[in-house]
Chain A
Amino acid sequence: MSNENEKLQNFIFRVRRFDPGKDSEPYYEDFVVPCGPGMVVLDGLWYIKEHLDPTLSWRSSCRMGVCGSCGMLLNGKPHLACHTQVRDISKDILLVAPLPNFNIVRDLVPDLAPMLEKHRKLNTRIIREDIEEVLEPTDQYWQDPEDLTAYLQFAYCIKCGCCMAACPTLATDDVYSGPMPLTQGYRYLIDTRDGAFRERAKLLSSEIGPWRCHYAGECSAVCPKGVDPARAIQLMKRELVWDLVKLGKRRHQKPVGLLPKENRATERREGIAEAPEFTIEGATSPAE
Chain B
Amino acid sequence: MSSNNTRLWTWHVLAGLILVVLLGLHMFGMHLNDLFHLESLNPEGGSPIDWANVAARAQAIGQVVFYILFLGFALYHGLYGLRNILLELNPSEGMAKFISRGILIAGVILFAFGTWAAIAARSTALAAL
Contacts and interface: CB of A to CB of B under 8 A. Distances in A.
Contacts of A29: none
B112 to A, nearest CB: 28
B90 A205 contact: no
A23 B10 CA distance: 48
Given A241-B10, A245-B10, A169 B5 contact: no
B21 to A, nearest CB: 19
Interface string A223-261: 000000000000001001100110000000000000000
Contacts, number: 44
B90 A175 contact: yes
A174 B93 CA distance: 11
14 contacts: A172-B89, A172-B90, A175-B87, A175-B90, A176-B88, A201-B6, A204-B6, A205-B5, A205-B7, A207-B1, A211-B9, A211-B84, A241-B10, A244-B10
Interface residues of B, number: 15
Given A169-B88, A206-B5, 14 more contacts: A172-B88, A173-B88, A173-B89, A173-B90, A175-B90, A201-B6, A205-B4, A205-B5, A207-B1, A209-B6, A237-B9, A240-B6, A241-B10, A241-B13
Binding site of B, secondary structure by majority: helix, strand, loop or mixed? helix
Nearest to B88: A173
Nearest to A169: B88
Interface in A165-190: 169, 172-176
Interface in A48-93: none
A169 B90 CA distance: 10
Contacts of B5: 205-207, 209, 211
A211 B81 CA distance: 11
A212 interface: yes
A227 to B, nearest CB: 24
Contacts of A201: 6
B1 A212 contact: no
Contacts of A207: 1, 5, 87
A176 B87 CA distance: 10
A107 B54 CA distance: 66
Contacts of A204: 6
A245 B13 CA distance: 13
